[in-house]
Every structure is written in C-alpha cells, then in structure tokens.
Structure 1
Amino acid sequence: MQHGPAVRRRKLGAELRALRTTAGLTSGEAARLVGWHQSKVSRIETGTSGVKPSDVRLLLDAYAVDDTQLRELLLALAASGDDDRHPWWHAYRGVLPPTYRDFISLESQATGMRTLETTVVPGLLQTPEYARAVTRAAVDGLDEERLDALVEVRLARQGVLRADPPLHLDAVLDEAVLRRQVGGPEVMARQLERLAQAARLPQVRLQVLPFSAGAHIGVTGPFVIFSFSNTSDLDVVVLDHLTSSLHLERKEDLEAYTEAFDTLRFHALSIEDSLEFIAGIHQDG
C-alpha cells in the first residue's frame, strides 16, 4: 500500500521497464542511448525518484514507442511533478492537500472510474449548492474564501465528463446517499434532479443499492477504482480516510475490489429502475 505520488512513480517506472524489455534493451544500454548513467534509469524504473516528462519522452523515443495514447498517458503521469507544465489545479495548490491533488491528477488521466458511494453523492455529479454544503460539513473552520476555492475545484473536476473523450463513470450509490438531507430539502431536490440528468448521459452508468439489499460488501466504506487506457498495470484503487487517501495497486487488491464492485452492481437496481427510484425519492421529498 502506498500513497498517491509513490504509487504513480512506481507504476510509471514499471511501465517504462516493461517497454525497455520489449525493446530488447538492458538498463545500461538504455542509459547510453539517452546519455545518462545506468543508475538513473534504475531509479526511475523502481520509482525511487521522480522523472520529468522530457526524460520520459527521451526514453519512449529510445524504445521506439509510437502509440500516441500510451505516450500521452505516461507523459501525463510524469507531468504532475514538472514545474514547466502546470495542470489547472496547480492554481489551487495553496488550499488543496497533496492527497487531494494526487486524486485529481489520477482522475484527469483515467479513462474509467468505478466508484461506490455510501454517504454522499460522487463529486463529479454534485451541484454547486450540494458541493458547498458537503465541503462546509467535512472541513471544520473554513473561511468563505477557502470554501469558495474548494467548491470551484469540485466543479472544475466535473470537466472530465465533458472531455473528448470523456471519462466513463460507473457509480453505485447506497440508498443512504439519496436520503441524507445535505443542505436541506431544496438543495437535495436539485441534487436528485442532477443525478437523474447525469444518469442519462452515455458516459455515466448510475445504479442505486437499496436498503432492501441488506448488508453488502460495501458496508466497510466507499472506494474508487481508476482505469487507464492501453494498460491495466496503471489501474489503482483509492480509499479515502478523514485525513488522507490510501492507494492500492497490487494485482490482488485490484482483483478483490473489482470483484466487489461487480457484486455490488449485481445486487443494485438496474439503471432504469435506479432512475425510477431516484424520481420516487424526489417526488416524496
């Protein structure tokens, strides 16, 4: 188990090592091709040191990697630590903890996101009013300026659903998410409408896990599985805690959480029935 920056370095290094092996090169030969010492290649491949996008580009050229999507993904993984290339959330670095920045980085690079939510609506589907109420409740002592900034970040993150191509979001929501009165009845009414709209988007799959399903494998807490194009080796599970996030990237962890998510989907209502369920709660509220 590792925290975000470490797991990203390790995954990037592992992929670069695999590409070097495919190219039929030793680490020493690769180093000579790009004019480095062999130890630098080793540190990059083991994830013990960061690597700039410019260095990744050199290695990819040396390994004759011409897959555009794979190149872009690996360069994006390296870009978060490069001072010459700031992503949009860099402007909020003064208010965002490192674990949150790393989560946004993974979210912006992923092609797919599977999430179980047991308490609140996923950030990518929140209305501004709901996001403000959740943020205010989750972080004590926020002044209005910082609260505004955190809400702006939450809403800016939603751009991944409108990107070309968009992130594919597969979400299972416990019924408690829909019934918890975050921000009051009016805020919840608009939030339920937003969920119904989002559920009709082709890039969003939304299912509700009703109370009638009883105890389920997700009762231990919410989780997110990020998936990436070209290689499953970059997939990662994220578990959120009160003060930090935990990243799981071992194959057995990914398999266990993938199986858990598939089980939750099986026991959840269908997409059509979930829409009717949300509409019913909205009408009752």
Structure 2
Amino acid sequence: MRYGPAVRRRKLGAELRRQRELAGMTSAEAARRVGWHQSKVSRIETGSSGVKPADVALLLDAYGVGDPELRALLGALCGAGSQGPQGARRGWWYAYRDLLPSAYLDFISLESEASRLRTLETTVVPGLLQTPAYARAVTRAALGDPPPEQVEELVRVRMARQSVLRGRRPLELCAVLDEAVLRHQVGGPEVMAGQLAHLMETASLRHVRLHVLPFSSGTHIGVTGPFVIFSFPRIADLDVVVLDHLTSSLYLERKEDLRAYSEAFTALRAQALSHENSLDFIAGINDGP
C-alpha cells in the first residue's frame, strides 16, 4: 500500500478525527478550510484511503496542532518518517526502499516513533540487540546465502535501527527470551560468545530489560510464536501487535488482540527470570561448563 499498511491508515484516521473534534470542527468545515471535498476527509478518517504526508500536515495546520512530537508521530504513521516544522521529511530508511520489502520498511517506521517495545523471542536475538556478526549469520540463513553485498547492506540497516536505543529519548525495550535463543549456535561459538556479551552490555542501559524463560520453566503461552507490541507516546489507541511470518507480517490492532497479547506478555514476564537473574543466567552460559 502506498501510504502504509491498513492498520496505520485506520489509526492515523482515528487520531486525525480526534484532533478535528478537539478543534471544534465538522468534517465539512475541515474540508472547506483545506479546500477539499468532504468525502476526502471522511475517507482519510475511516482509513479507507491513504493520505500523503503533505495532506496530514495541511489538516494539522487547520486544526491548530503545533506539537512537534505529535506531528512527527502522525507523519510516521502515513509513511513519512519524521516530521519537521517545515513539513514531512523522509526517514533514514527511505534510502533502502529498493532493498527492503515494504513490510520491513513499515516495521522500521513504527519502531522509530514508538516509545515502548515489548517482545517475545523464541529462536533468535531481537534485531535491536544483535551484533553485526550475529546479524550477518541470521541474514544469510534467512535468505539462503544471498550475495555478500546484499548481506552487508541488510546488516547496516539492522545496525542503524539500533540508534533508537541511544537517542535523546530512547526507546524503552523489554524483551522476554526463551532459553533456546541463547543456546542456538548462530554463526558458531565465537559469534555467540560475542552476542551474549553484547546482550549483557546493552542490558546495562536503564531503559532495556531482559527476561530469560529457562527450559526449566516448562511450557508457556509463548509457544505459539514470537510477537512484538509497539506502544506510542501519549496515544494508547495507536498501539499495535506485529506477528512475523516467513513471507509477510501481520498487524493486529483490535482492542481485544492488544489486550490478549499484553496480558500474555505480562504472564511471560512473570514466569521468566528477573532482569538481574537473567543477566547471571546469560553470563553462566557464556562462561561455559
């Protein structure tokens, strides 16, 4: 879809409708203010059609929304990347648009604007916590030994994504990792040793929390597969769950789905080791028998 997945269109439309109502305007008044037909405003608000970044900026101007953070978030939801005071500007990932599938670009744009990310991983280390060597090995395995130059480009993207953990307002990351994630010899013993050391180093950041689900904890609700929950600053209704499949990603936005996955994550975190004990557990694996 040209201006982002359906889930983002609907969430963007709902927030634009809320901003219009806060401004005390009807959809007809908003349309007159920006020189459109009322049906265009309605289609945008219901998410039935995409919206260009410039149109989002035009509506926000009409509603008197000057908050740069809110404008940046809504700009990202229509696929614009960050939004500056002069209008939309593209995110850094735009330069990789010919290399990356649209689902991955959508994921990166959400990740770049989220304030919190909760994730369950059952087989591999989350991308935001990978070392270059580990990312290289995962990429080769996932793509079936692609050309070396393609691997390096994808690894650069993976490393660039990690800037969200070290910015002025870093992403709050909480990851529950099945013990299998730590045991799989991705790239061999040397690569895994470096990866486990990197996990412990990154977990020292105050906004990063790791929780290991040891094999001894038995069966858990996460056996159905990994998932990511994105949360956004100040607008809870924009939260979204992402499920990755081999050839696509599924975005879940219904309140029932969000509640179910949030409750599942809370249960998994309670069943897992504490952050401190998880780091000791990882150190024990890295030290060997």
Q: Same fold (TM over 0.5)?
A: yes
Give 1:204-219 correspondences, 5 Å limit. Answer: 204-219=208-223
What is the CA deviation profile of residues 230-265 of structure 1, one whole-angstrom value per residue up to 9, with x for unaligned ones?
A: 101111000000000000011111000000000001
Q: What aligned pairs does 1:33-52 form with structure 2 within 5 A after superposition?
A: 33-52=33-52
- Counterpart Cα distance in 1 of 2:186 and 2:179: 14
Normalising to structure 2: TM-score of the pair?
Answer: 0.93
* CA-CA distance at 1:79 after TM superposition: 4.2
User: Which deviations, in whole Å up to 9, do the C-alpha atoms of 1:61-98 show, x marking residues without a partner?
Assistant: 2222243322221122224389x733211221222111
State whether residues 174 and 209 of structure 1, in contact with CA within 8 Å, keep that contact through their aligned partners in structure 2.
yes
2:219 is paired with a residue whose SS is coil
Q: Any idea what SS the aligned residue of 1:72 has?
A: helix
Pick from 239, 243, 247: which aligns with 1:243? Answer: 247
Residue deviations 1:98-139, cap 9 Å, x none?
111111111111111000000000000000000000110111
Report how many aligned residue pairs link the two structures: 282
Under a length normalisation based on structure 1, what TM-score does the superposition of the two structures give? Answer: 0.95
Q: Find the counterpart in structure 2 of residue 276 from structure 1.
A: 280
State the Cα deviation string for residues 141-178 of structure 1 (Å, max 9, x = none).
Answer: 41111111111111111111111101111100000000
Kept in 2, the 8 Å contact 1:20–1:63? The answer is: yes
Residue 204 of structure 1: how far off its partner (Å):
0.4
The 5 Å alignment of 1:48-127 reads: 48-80=48-80, 85-127=89-131
Q: What SS class does the counterpart of residue 73 from structure 1 fall into?
A: helix
Cα distance, 1:94–1:208 mapped onto 2, change above 3 Å = same
Select 1:186's aligned residue among 187, 190, 195. Answer: 190
Q: 2:288, 2:8 → 1: CA distance?
A: 45
In the alignment, structure 2 segments of 5+ residues that lack a partner are none
Distance in 2 separating the partners of 1:42 and 1:89: 30
8 Å contact from structure 1 (residues 79, 85) kept in 2: no
Contact 2:177–2:210 (8 Å) recurs in 1: yes
Gaps of 5+ in 1: none
Say if 2:76 and 2:110, in contact at 8 Å, map to a contact too.
Answer: no
Partner letter of residue 51 of structure 2?
V
Q: Which amino acid aligns with 1:116?
A: L
2:228 aligned residue: 224
Distance 2:53 2:103 in 1: 21
Following TM superposition, where does structure 1 have runs of at least 4 consecutive aligned residues deviating by more than 4 angstroms?
none
**What amino acid is aligned across from residue 121 of structure 1 in structure 2?**
V
Residue in 1 that maps onto 2:165: 161
Using CA pairs below 8 Å that are at least 6 residues apart, which structure has the higher relative contact order?
Answer: 1
Deviation, structure 1 residue 18: 1.5
Identity %: 70
